[in-house]
Structure 1
């Protein structure tokens, strides 16, 4: 299990390379949900998501031989962007493998940063290819099955614990589980009374299925949220969620897109469905916990283009 000392060490390591993002009360979201809401605006992070933290923590740990060989990562978008940009900043050659469903802008940003981008038909194929490239000598920077990466993501929770007003319930999105594993470890150490809720979208339910099965399992993927679409979680992230998280909630893609529009209107931030899904889940938490709850939201990323969101809004007739 990742400990608070691991996360504090990661925070020291990556300081100066990443931003301490704002943690702010949101009057707009408080009015929308009917309870006080505090938002950790990680979509303002370098590269547009929390992924820069874990990628930087891993890159700074490389030996000279590993730096010379170069690194490789698999990504639905945000991890690839983060690795490409941060590797370029640290003068490390990077290869990023993405499925065809990854946002076009994510592919463009990774290439513009200087990374070699390999495209596969689906996420399963992306994970297979990245394993082959690792076996050929590249150093794998896994998005969620690496203690250094998880500790890096945990610095989000460390900052939230230090900067947020009193909260009772914190919601965190789950893809492969690296963010929630790190955040949960930090919050359990710093704010042990807080309930932590995971959020997935339908068709990207790797953690929910793992909890039902008693361990990581492969799942079919169909969600529009490519940044949550991990074909399986890791034993590392499963262990943290099963031990530290109150429950994992699952919301439809339609509601996640509605959440993006609500975040734009009420919080004045432009988020992707992986963050938009937090709002419908927060409504569930308020209904179950009651009006005395105080909600914290980790707004994890904003790497969706206006065209993407409008296309999804048209698909689900949300205008």
Structure 2
């Protein structure tokens, strides 16, 4: 299990390399949801998402031999961007493997940062290629199956616990589970009475299916939300979530996109559907727990283009 001491050590390691992002009450979201809402604004992080934290923590932990070998990662978008940009900043050669479903902008940013980008047809093929490259000598920077990466992501929770007013329930998006595993560990240590809720999109339900099965299982992926589309969670993230998280909620892709529009209109935040899914899930939490709740939202990223949003709003009839 990742503990608070691991997360505190990660915070010391990455200080000066990443942004301590703002934590702020949102009058607009509070009015929309009918309960007080505080947002942790990780979309303002370097590279546009929380992923810079875990990638930086891992890169700074490498030996000279591992740095010389170069690093490799698989990504649906944000982890690849983060690794490419932060590896360039730390002068480490990086290779990023992405499925064709990854946003074109993510591929472009990773290449512009100097990473070698390999594109595969599916996410399963991406993971397989990364494993082959690892066997050839590259150092793997896994998006969620690595305690150093998870501890790095946990610094989000460390900051939230220090900066937020009183909250009763915190919602965190879930793909492979690295963010929620780290955030839950930090919050359980610093604010033990807070309930923690994971949020997935339908068709990217690796964690909820793992919880139902009693451990990680492969899942079929059909969500448009590539940044949450992990083919399975890891034993590490499953163990953390099963022990520390109240429940994992699922929302349709359409509602995740609608959540992005609501965040733009009511919170003045430009997000991606991996963050937009928090709003429909927040409504579920209010329905289940009552109107005395005080919500915290970890707004995980904002790497969506105006063209992406135009396509999604047209696809789901949200214009």
- For normalisation by structure 2, the TM-score amounts to 1.00
Paired residues for 1:77-88 under 5 Å:
77-88=77-88
> Which residue in 1 is equivalent to 2:235?
235
Q: Does 1:43 align with 2:40?
A: no
Equivalents in 2 of 1:47, 1:140: separation in Å? 20
* Displacement after TM superposition at 1:42 (Å): 0.2
Equivalents in 2 of 1:5, 1:64: separation in Å? 25
Paired residues for 1:24-103 under 5 Å:
24-103=24-103
* Displacement after TM superposition at 1:198 (Å): 0.2
Q: Deviations over 1:150-180 (max 9, x none)?
A: 0000000000000000000000000000000
> Which residue in 2 is equivalent to 1:168?
168
Equivalents in 1 of 2:230, 2:309: separation in Å? 21
Paired residues for 1:182-193 under 5 Å:
182-193=182-193
> Which residue in 1 is equivalent to 2:143?
143
Equivalents in 2 of 1:301, 1:309: separation in Å? 14
> Which residue in 2 is equivalent to 1:260?
260
- Structure 1: gaps spanning 5 or more residues: none
Secondary structure in structure 1 of the residue aligned to 2:134: helix
Equivalents in 1 of 2:242, 2:235: separation in Å? 10
* Displacement after TM superposition at 1:290 (Å): 0.6
Equivalents in 1 of 2:303, 2:128: separation in Å? 25
> Which residue in 1 is equivalent to 2:306?
306
Equivalents in 2 of 1:240, 1:101: separation in Å? 28
Equivalents in 2 of 1:311, 1:246: separation in Å? 34
Paired residues for 1:95-134 under 5 Å:
95-134=95-134
Secondary structure in structure 2 of the residue aligned to 1:109: helix
Q: After the TM superposition, which segments of 4 or more aligned residues of structure 1 sit over 4 Å from their partners? A: none
> Which residue in 1 is equivalent to 2:6?
6
- For normalisation by structure 1, the TM-score amounts to 1.00
* Displacement after TM superposition at 1:289 (Å): 0.6
Q: Does 1:315 align with 2:315?
A: yes
Secondary structure in structure 1 of the residue aligned to 2:61: coil
> Which residue in 1 is equivalent to 2:19?
19
Equivalents in 2 of 1:190, 1:18: separation in Å? 22
Q: Matched residue pairs, number? A: 319
> Which residue in 2 is equivalent to 1:270?
270
CA RMSD in angstroms, aligned pairs only: 0.3
* Displacement after TM superposition at 1:310 (Å): 1.2
Equivalents in 1 of 2:101, 2:90: separation in Å? 28
